[in-house]
Structure 1
Amino acid sequence: MSAGDIDYGFTGYSPDLGGMTEAEIMGRGRIHDVIDHQTVALMEGRVRRTGVLERLQAWHDEDAPAFSIGGRPSLISERAVMTALLLLAKEGSALFLTNVRDVFMFRLSDASRELLGLERSIEAFVGHVGEKSRWYANTSRAFHRMNDLMDPFPQERRTSKTYTEIQAILRAHDVELEEKRKARLDEFTKLFLVMTYNEQPRNIRRASKQMDISFDQTYIGTPTVKGYSKKNLAKRVADEATVEDMKTLKPGPVDAYAGWHVSTGPRTDVGKGETDLTAPGRKADSAEYRWGWEINIAVRVDSEAPGQKRFPGLAVAATMSLPNIRVAEEAVSLMRAAKAVGLDPGVADADKQYWANALVERLHDPAHKEGFLPSTDYRTDRMGHQGGDHGALYIEGGTYCPATPEPIKNATIDLVSGSIDDETYEARIEERRAFRLHQKEKPDSKGRVVLRCPALGPSPTVTCPLREMLKTRKVLPSVDGEDLPDFADKICAQHSVSFDTARNRRTAQAFEYGTKEWRGFHVHARNSIESLNNQVKSGGTEDIESASRRRVRGFGAAQIIVTMLLTNFNLRKIAAFISDKIKDDAKKLIGGEPRVAPNRRRDREFHNPYTNTYPPGSTPPTKVTAPPFSDETGGPPRRT
């Protein structure tokens, strides 16, 4: 040993490696800790409980050609890949395929390898480079074998594209294949999130009989940041046609199917078959854009007891979509997926991007068919009186008396304009309740509901000159004669009228707009989805916004990885919720025994001579006395 060489006294040391060990070099500077078998078995069991393995096999059989020459069996299964992804998400590591490879090579015990059906890795230092390449190739093939069943936008993604190549990819796109694989991808995500929901104790799952949700979109970036605009694509293609040497062109986009997310400024929602006209780069445009995709997430909220934290705020449904494309349809997909947990559909809350701006036939009608009731804020042009039927007025989701006073009819408009303060607004909204038509029967199968004048029925809320025969002892708000309509329509002439709920569906809500009930739930619901988005996005454990922790390119791969991260988020939330519950229960204990309220002296010494009873658990006096005289009526003794 030369003077400069040091014997560190541990195996794996070689003078040719300096002060580095063979294990460090094989791990490229990282030390690979072995994951305990119990954790591996836990994650593998959760993958099985999703039911996704059966779905993958069914999709594989569906896509398989009628005749195949076969091939050798896969060395790594999709089950092993999904288990490794969950393990990496659990420890907060990046979900790289190289990290999945390292899990398989270095971090599994013999029992875990047997469970996942993996062969042993050659751990010799000599030849480790070739061994790692072999394992990576098999890991990549296993992941993409799964991804190819679900990727709606298949394309080559190894190299950047010219705009001519991007145009060719767009023209060759198979819309039917996109719809089929998009449905599979959303099914994949749904199965994992439903699994996490079922990991909760039954009393938490069933804390409410209905599934209330709040949903929104949040941006996630692509591994490649360069994008393009469809608006000027044709011009770029024409410019490329004039270039003699294509090698002189600058590298172009890689993902043909991503879009520009509008960080600030107005957003659009184009439907199926339409073109997204979002064109960043205009000098007069003050909006900020980022190239990527949108994750649509629905969180479970509580319309019965807002803010009481009866259950954790889990992501119960999620999909992925292109920016500015079919926002309303993705929201309906979230509602449909949320019903998979087995609860009745309840209230669906969202911001103005959804209920307030979407077309009725694209969002409101499908949501009604799924059984969900909207909760949202209104656009300023849809506040106040918005038409009506049979003489009744449609006001902010409700159906009101035609003689509703003007100040309470326009309460919300006056609040927004600054004409009244919050206290006055609340008083007018409460006063407006009395003028709302009373529902006599539940809606029928065709969406028709029978309503009657608020001055009629067993519990009238107003008095009206047109219903003077009504007599009540209650002091009720009265209809001003000047507010009566010039022509008494059906609602003023008949005992009840059938209304078509579809005619007022655009503004209908689960709670009467502007009331304390509406405000309490809407604030709770918006805070819940914003909190979830903040927790799963940049800076958090999952960090779904940044592509630096998910380098696999493509739409399908991104949703698969985000699904694993949302699964881990839900599992963390459940564990934290149960932990907090245990902590709260422990505070109620004194010396390990339940806290008992002190027994007061008047309770300890209580004796009722009328019934000759004593406190529960006490012993009556043993002295025997003569029974008092009784007339056998059961009452107190009478004096004679």
Structure 2
Amino acid sequence: MDEHVHEHAPPHPSQNGPQLYFSLSDATREQLGLRRYPDHDRGFEAAYAVVRRRIHSILDALDPSPLPKNHRLARRHAEKLLVNANPDELAHKRTLMLRVTNMILAMSLREALPLLEDHWNGSISIDATVIGTYAKGLSPDSPVTSTDPDAAWYVRTTKHKDPLALDDLTPAQQNKKGAKLQKKKDRIKKRLFGYDASLVVARDPHHDGAPLPDGSANPDVVPALVIAFSVDKPSHRPGHVATEALQQVHDSLPRGYLAGDRAYNGQKPENFQLPIRAMGYEPVYDYAQDQLGVQAGFAGAGLVEGNWYCPPCPRNSRTPPRT
């Protein structure tokens, strides 16, 4: 009977309550200037309020945006706040935000560190994935901002073209005589209001991570692990944001191949290619069909897919196979 009552007894407030508060030692609580509340229902509510206020204080110190959240703001006022903000302070807050959030991510990798150290050569893939917000996205010409004013639209078409040109949100293109040109609209495949998270994923270039014949994971193969990330508006600064994410990879981890899609191989060298090579990565890119083969020439030498070849190079070696 006693065991039955024990199994269904309500959990103690310190078990379901704000662990960040009740698990603090007396020395830490004194260092932070927190009073000690009794461990009962009213003490729980008071402690929860303390934790909530402290978390908001941390978020305020890390928020790299001067715009208030959770209510719509007149766009003129928002633009004024952005103009008057201190760019150095915002950059410092963004650095802190990336450092703190990636430290939280690193806690999830502690158990996997031995596997990374023994079976990983430092090769990674970098890619951006969209994260939706609860806020409603508005048109750029709206007189007010969204309740999440730092987010933006992500729109993907079947041809992966610029989304803003699809909904007449950008000025109409004109011919030489000033007449508007008719644009053929591509079918929208995905539309979302939110952010892009640039993820750094550890990969093993020699194994695909396929499970063993019995369906279990191969203990000698590195799984796809997110080891660092950065966040920004969708498609606004892909090279910069990817570089920010790569800078969060711990110095103790090795550097190997870096694979990225076509969002990165067209970036300016100073925004992506040069920084990643300075970090020790060797980039691997995918190119579109019209970017393959001979792209330029000089004094008889041919530029073939990023490398120069001498004039005697066989012509069939300069032309990739077509699929």
TM-score bracket, normalised by the shorter chain, equals: 0.7 to 0.9
Q: Is the 8 A contact 2:294 2:303 kept in 1?
A: yes
Question: Is it true that 1:161 corresponds to 2:73 in the alignment?
Answer: yes
* Offset from partner CA, 1:277-299 (integer Å, 9 cap, x none): 94774396544532211111111
Normalized per residue, which structure has more helix? 1
1:302–1:173 distance in 2 versus 1, CA, 3 Å: same
Question: Is it true that 1:300 corresponds to 2:202 in the alignment?
Answer: yes
Question: Is it true that 1:222 corresponds to 2:133 in the alignment?
Answer: yes
Q: 1:349 is matched with which residue: 254, 259, 267?
A: 259
Once the two structures are superposed, the pairs formed by residues 324-335 of structure 1 within 5 Å of their partners are 324-335=235-246
Secondary structure at the aligned position of 2:62 is classed as coil
Question: Is it true that 1:263 corresponds to 2:156 in the alignment?
Answer: yes
- Long gaps (5+) in structure 1: 1-10, 12-30, 38-101, 238-251, 269-276, 417-640
Question: Is it true that 1:122 corresponds to 2:40 in the alignment?
Answer: yes
Question: Is it true that 1:143 corresponds to 2:29 in the alignment?
Answer: no
Amino acid at match of 2:259: D
Secondary structure at the aligned position of 1:360 is classed as coil
Q: Is the 8 A contact 2:17 2:48 kept in 1?
A: no
Residue matched to 1:370: 279
Distance in 1, matches of 2:234 and 2:226, equals 20
1:374–1:113 distance in 2 versus 1, CA, 3 Å: closer
Q: Is the 8 A contact 1:35 1:108 kept in 2?
A: no
Q: 1:170 is matched with which residue: 64, 82, 85?
A: 82
1:213–1:201 distance in 2 versus 1, CA, 3 Å: closer
Q: 2:17 is matched with which residue: 95, 98, 103?
A: 103
Q: 1:190 is matched with which residue: 97, 102, 107?
A: 102
- Report the CA distance between 1:399 and its aligned residue: 4.2
Distance in 1, matches of 2:136 and 2:10, equals 31
TM-score by length of structure 1 reads: 0.39
Once the two structures are superposed, the pairs formed by residues 545-560 of structure 1 within 5 Å of their partners are none
Question: Is it true that 1:282 corresponds to 2:168 in the alignment?
Answer: yes
Residue matched to 2:225: 314
User: Which has the higher mean CA deviation after the structures are superposed, 217-226 or 112-121?
Assistant: 112-121
Secondary structure at the aligned position of 1:361 is classed as coil
1:32–1:183 distance in 2 versus 1, CA, 3 Å: farther
TM-score by length of structure 2 reads: 0.73
Distance in 2, matches of 1:190 and 1:279, equals 35
* Offset from partner CA, 1:548-568 (integer Å, 9 cap, x none): xxxxxxxxxxxxxxxxxxxxx
Amino acid at match of 1:103: G
- Report the CA distance between 1:384 and its aligned residue: 0.3
Distance in 2, matches of 1:168 and 1:175, equals 14
- Report the CA distance between 1:360 and its aligned residue: 2.5
Amino acid at match of 2:154: H
- Report the CA distance between 1:367 and its aligned residue: 1.6
Distance in 1, matches of 2:13 and 2:298, equals 67
- Report the CA distance between 1:326 and its aligned residue: 1.1
Q: Is the 8 A contact 2:70 2:148 kept in 1?
A: no
Distance in 1, matches of 2:77 and 2:227, equals 39
Distance in 1, matches of 2:10 and 2:129, equals 34
Distance in 2, matches of 1:156 and 1:120, equals 35
- Long gaps (5+) in structure 2: 30-35, 170-182, 211-217
Count, aligned residues: 283
Once the two structures are superposed, the pairs formed by residues 455-604 of structure 1 within 5 Å of their partners are none
Q: Is the 8 A contact 2:229 2:246 kept in 1?
A: no
Secondary structure at the aligned position of 2:264 is classed as coil
Q: 1:213 is matched with which residue: 111, 124, 127?
A: 124
1:381–1:362 distance in 2 versus 1, CA, 3 Å: farther
1:34–1:207 distance in 2 versus 1, CA, 3 Å: farther
Q: CA RMSD in A?
A: 3.5
